[in-house]
């Protein structure tokens, strides 16, 4: 969902733990639709397998109309326009269902999650995309330091290079999640407030840019375009990379490429730095609790990392920055571990999930491999 970031400063979905679990559930459920995916048909993972059924409108909701007045005042928009526009939003039950956390006890499985994204359909589509936009990807890499394979990995994971950008009206998605976020969610109030901010940004952006807010479509969370930017991220990080005077993440692959690169640049991507390193454990002195405490935030120097029982080798020993222990659970099998750098962490600012970041990395690597003669 890109992006729907999982932190309030990013553009994807707001809580990584249940999001990853949800994606793992979807991965299982979608195995039956593999044949359709091979023929380029929309599959359920993207946003919705079919056109969502509209529900009640928000024109008679006092809370929605009060929000419209507040948005108009804060953003200096025409009050009647905001009211009329928001009044045409519809509650969509499928959206509320999509953000409901899965049942407790769903086992995370990196290999299953990976199989949804690092697979032949996306690799072939990525190869075609890279070949078509080779010069643009090269320019983005030169200007920002973000490797082409990372940009290609993001666009492949998010929308299969524009094939699956979502079919919910963005206005409906944001209104539903603002005014009817499921109360059963443990962070319902916080999430509702987040989406209210995104709704405000969407209305302001669409009015000022001349976009029709009633026709724009995206994911169930309101993310738009090839890179699935939320409205606030579109405003903050999207760029006119093709130089036509417009920022269009829905129809301009160049703008999508440049905007993803710019996003990572803003979130401190370090050119030339690896995203992660392999590792082993010395069990006799392994302090797993201390290593896992910071989660995915790079915290340990190479020396401190090794002092706590991690064995590094090769280029990892020369790493000048901080490292984090990244754990990828594999269901009933033993977890996988890598040493994540600041660049791995930068990818998680797009979507706050180590599973997502590794899928982006490995899909990009697979496409880069396919590019080689």
Going by pLDDT thresholds of 50, 70 and 90, the confidence category of residue 53 is: low
How many Cβ atoms are within 10 Å of 51's Cβ, its own excluded?
10
pLDDT at 54 (0 to 100): 66
What is the spatial distance between Cα 124 and Cα 113, in angstroms, rounded to a whole number? 19
What is the spatial distance between Cα 10 and Cα 323, in angstroms, rounded to a whole number? 21
Homologous superfamily (CATH) of 1-107+161-270 is Bacterial muramidase (1.10.8.350)
pLDDT(169) > 60 = yes
- C-beta of residue 345 within 8 angstroms of C-beta of residue 296: yes
What is the spatial distance between Cα 297 and Cα 159, in angstroms, rounded to a whole number? 27
Q: Which of 73, 141, 143, 158 is catalytic?
A: 158
- Per DSSP, which regions of 54-204 are E strands? 168-169
How much of the chain exceeds pLDDT 90, in percent? 82
For residue 218, report the phi and psi dihedrals to the nearest 5 degrees. -165, -155
pLDDT at 373 (0 to 100): 79
pLDDT at 30 (0 to 100): 40
What is the spatial distance between Cα 332 and Cα 131, in angstroms, rounded to a whole number? 39
Q: Could you identify the residue written with the tokens 């990807």?
A: 137
Chain mean pLDDT for the chain: 88
pLDDT(18) > 60 = no
SS3 letters across 297-328: CCCECHHHHHHCCEECCHHHHHCCCCEEEEEE
For residue 75, report the phi and psi dihedrals to the nearest 5 degrees. -95, 0
**Cα separations (Å) of 232 from 4, 10, 89, 101, 339?**
10, 9, 19, 24, 31
What is the spatial distance between Cα 267 and Cα 265, in angstroms, rounded to a whole number? 5
pLDDT at 176 (0 to 100): 98
Give per-residue pLDDT as tens, 277-302.
999 999 999 999 999 999 999 999 99
Give per-residue pLDDT as tens, 321-349.
999 999 999 999 999 999 999 999 999 99
pLDDT at 56 (0 to 100): 87
For the chain, domain boundaries: 1-107+161-270, 276-340
Q: Which is more confident, 71 or 4?
A: 71
How much of the chain exceeds pLDDT 70, in percent? 85
pLDDT(110) > 60 = yes
What one-character-per-residue DSSP string does 25-86 give?
HHHHHGGGGHHHHHTT---TTSS-SSPPPP--BSTT-HHHHHHHHHHHHHHT--HHHHHHHH
pLDDT(44) > 90 = no
- C-beta of residue 178 within 8 angstroms of C-beta of residue 199: yes
What is the spatial distance between Cα 357 and Cα 344, in angstroms, rounded to a whole number? 7
pLDDT at 105 (0 to 100): 67
**DSSP conformation class of 285:** G
How many Cβ atoms are within 10 Å of 71's Cβ, its own excluded?
23
Mean pLDDT over 26-49 rounds to 35
Give per-residue pLDDT as tens, 173-194.
999 999 999 999 999 999 999 9
Closest CA to 83 of 234, 177, 213: 213
pLDDT at 232 (0 to 100): 97
**Known catalytic residue at 280:** no
Give per-residue pLDDT as tens, 120-154.
999 999 999 999 999 999 999 999 999 999 999 99
């Amino acid at each position: 969902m890109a992006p729907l970031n999982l932190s309030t400063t990013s553009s994807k979905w707001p809580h990584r733990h249940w999001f990853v679990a949800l994606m793992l559930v979807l991965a299982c459920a979608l195995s039956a639709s593999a044949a359709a995916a091979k023929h380029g048909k929309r599959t359920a993972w993207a946003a919705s397998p079919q056109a969502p059924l509209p529900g009640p409108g928000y024109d008679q909701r006092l809370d929605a109309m009060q929000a419209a007045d507040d948005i108009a005042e804060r953003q200096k928009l025409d009050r009647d326009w905001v009211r009329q526009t928001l009044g045409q939003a519809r509650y969509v039950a499928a959206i509320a269902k999509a953000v409901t956390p899965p049942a407790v006890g769903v086992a995370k499985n990196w290999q299953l999650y990976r199989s949804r994204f690092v697979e032949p359909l996306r690799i072939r589509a990525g190869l075609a995309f890279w070949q078509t936009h080779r010069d643009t990807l090269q320019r983005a890499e030169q200007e920002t330091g973000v490797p082409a394979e990372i940009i290609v990995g993001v666009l492949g994971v998010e929308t299969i290079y524009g094939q699956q950008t979502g079919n919910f009206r963005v206005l409906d998605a944001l209104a539903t999640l603002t005014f009817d976020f499921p109360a059963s969610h443990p962070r319902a109030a916080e999430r509702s407030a987040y989406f209210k901010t995104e709704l405000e940004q969407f209305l302001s952006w669409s009015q000022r840019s001349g976009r029709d807010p009633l026709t724009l479509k995206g994911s169930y969370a309101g993310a738009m375009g090839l890179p699935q930017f939320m409205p606030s991220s579109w405003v903050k990080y999207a760029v006119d990379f093709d130089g036509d005077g417009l920022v269009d993440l829905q129809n301009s692959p160049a703008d999508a490429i440049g905007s993803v690169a710019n996003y990572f640049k803003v979130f401190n991507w370090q050119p030339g730095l690896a995203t992660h390193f392999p590792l082993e454990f010395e069990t006799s002195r392994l302090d797993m609790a201390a290593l896992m405490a910071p989660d995915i935030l790079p915290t340990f120097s190479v020396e401190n990392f090794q002092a706590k029982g991690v064995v590094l080798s090769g280029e990892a020993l020369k790493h000048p920055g901080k490292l984090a222990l990244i754990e990828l659970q594999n269901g009933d099998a033993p977890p996988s571990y890598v040493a994540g750098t600041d660049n791995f962490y930068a990818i998680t600012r797009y979507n706050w999930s180590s599973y997502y970041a590794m899928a982006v990395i490995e899909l990009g690597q697979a496409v880069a491999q396919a590019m080689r003669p």
